């Protein structure tokens, strides 16, 4: 069976959930081989093996931390040359997309970004994408080289599928480590204790209907009651009620959670572009004609200032 490279996203060896999702998708088209870059391969290997990695190609060179993505692309290319994979899967983070694009250029391969599903086809791996502000769903096939595919978080459920997952060291030559860029400092963002917006299984977003920054605590409390991330519409962000990092939509982040709750959001096309692929969509809006209701699985027509506190109280009581 053909091997499929899976680029591992991790924090000091703790494998992030999008990578486990990629392993599940990789198993549909071949045998997953994990590529682990940086410190902590031995910590990560048991998890990667549990979720289906047949082996773990690991490399650790100081250049990974000191520079931006170029050395990681060198290492991924080394894995690519060692394995000659049927496809390369990379998480659709900002870094992942840059790494994937550079690898595709270097290997003369076709690139598909932001896939939301993946299946084996007669002529190769078929990726599903949501395009043109989510107006269309397309299925794409790479016709040249090896498909390099980035996949949005929450596109598949992680599946336990124990495999060998032995760690093999990858010989990596970092050609020109800096490639003109060097990391001079890192400032971790203050943690809110909530999951990362693009990776969260549940997202609760607030819009202009909140009527002010001071009311966003209603969204935060509801989010915390279900372990969700907090999102915001552009209207709320432009008004300065919530940071741009939390904006969902065409000019914000694209999310695809199991559950998306839109509160006081009308459902403009640019907002839909960032959340339309969510598995279940719930809206709370006082206007029964709001366009968001064309999209929802469950809709509550009502005043958010009454509905949201009741909802939070009910959930918290369980």
Contact positions vs ligand FAD (CB under 6 A): 207-209, 233-236, 247-252, 264-266, 268, 270-271, 274, 284-287, 290, 303-305
Instruction: Give CA–CA dist 204/222, Å, rounded.
Output: 7
* Nearest residue (CB) to ligand FAD, 96 versus 264: 264
CB of 175 to ligand FAD, least distance (A): 38
* Nearest residue (CB) to ligand FAD, 82 versus 301: 301
Task: Please give the sequence-ordered ranges of beta strands (E in DSSP) within the chain, or none if there are none.
Answer: 3-7, 10-11, 14-15, 31-37, 55-59, 87-91, 111-121, 124-131, 136-141, 148-151, 166-169, 202-206, 229-232, 259-263, 280-285, 298-301
User: Between vectors from CA 92 to CA 193 and to CA 41, what angle results, nearest 5°?
Assistant: 70
User: Residue 286 has which token pair?
Assistant: 């006082």
* Nearest residue (CB) to ligand FAD, 49 versus 210: 210
* Nearest residue (CB) to ligand FAD, 75 versus 275: 275
CB of 78 to ligand FAD, least distance (A): 38
* Nearest residue (CB) to ligand FAD, 120 versus 239: 239
User: Between vectors from CA 115 to CA 203 and to CA 298, what angle results, nearest 5°?
Assistant: 35
Instruction: Give CA–CA dist 288/249, Å, rounded.
Output: 22
Residue nearest to ligand FAD (CB): 249
CB of 260 to ligand FAD, least distance (A): 12
CB of 304 to ligand FAD, least distance (A): 4
CB of 145 to ligand FAD, least distance (A): 33
Instruction: Give CA–CA dist 153/188, Å, rounded.
Output: 22
CB of 288 to ligand FAD, least distance (A): 9
CB of 138 to ligand FAD, least distance (A): 21
CA 59 to chain centre: 23
Instruction: Give CA–CA dist 93/187, Å, rounded.
Output: 19
* Nearest residue (CB) to ligand FAD, 152 versus 234: 234
Give the number of other CB atoms < 10 A from CB of residue 86.
19
Give the number of other CB atoms < 10 A from CB of residue 301.
14
CB of 313 to ligand FAD, least distance (A): 17
Instruction: Give CA–CA dist 274/250, Å, rounded.
Output: 6
* Nearest residue (CB) to ligand FAD, 61 versus 269: 269
Coil, strand, or helix at residue 1? Answer: coil
Instruction: Give CA–CA dist 220/72, Å, rounded.
Output: 36
* Nearest residue (CB) to ligand FAD, 147 versus 206: 206
């Amino acid at each position: 069976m053909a091997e499929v490279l899976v680029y591992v996203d991790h924090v000091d060896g703790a494998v992030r959930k999008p990578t486990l999702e990629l392993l599940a998708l990789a198993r549909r088209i071949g045998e997953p081989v994990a590529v682990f870059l940086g410190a902590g391969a031995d910590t990560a290997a048991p998890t990667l093996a549990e979720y289906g990695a047949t082996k773990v190609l690991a490399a650790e060179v100081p250049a990974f931390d000191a520079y931006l993505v170029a050395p990681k692309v060198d290492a991924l290319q080394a894995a690519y040359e060692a394995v000659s994979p049927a496809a390369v899967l990379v998480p659709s983070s900002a870094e992942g997309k840059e790494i994937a694009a550079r690898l595709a250029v270097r290997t003369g391969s076709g690139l598909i970004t932001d896939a939301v599903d993946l299946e084996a086809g007669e002529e190769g791996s078929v990726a599903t994408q949501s395009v043109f502000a989510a107006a269309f769903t397309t299925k794409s096939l790479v016709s040249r080289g090896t498909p390099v595919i980035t996949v949005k978080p929450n596109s598949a459920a992680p599946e336990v599928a124990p495999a060998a997952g032995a760690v093999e060291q990858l010989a990596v030559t970092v050609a020109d480590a800096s490639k003109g860029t060097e990391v001079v400092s890192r400032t971790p963002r203050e943690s809110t204790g909530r999951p990362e917006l693009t990776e969260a299984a549940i997202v609760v977003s607030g819009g202009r209907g909140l009527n002010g920054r001071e009311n966003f605590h209603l969204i935060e409390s509801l989010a915390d009651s279900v372990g969700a991330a907090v999102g915001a519409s552009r209207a709320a962000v432009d008004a300065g009620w919530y940071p741009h990092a939390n904006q969902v939509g065409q000019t914000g982040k694209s999310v695809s959670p199991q559950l998306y709750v839109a509160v006081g959001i009308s459902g403009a096309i640019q907002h839909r572009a960032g959340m339309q692929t969510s598995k279940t969509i719930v809206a709370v809006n006082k206007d029964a004609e709001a366009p968001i209701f064309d999209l929802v699985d469950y809709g509550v027509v009502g005043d958010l200032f009454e509905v949201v506190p009741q909802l939070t109280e009910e959930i918290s009581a369980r």
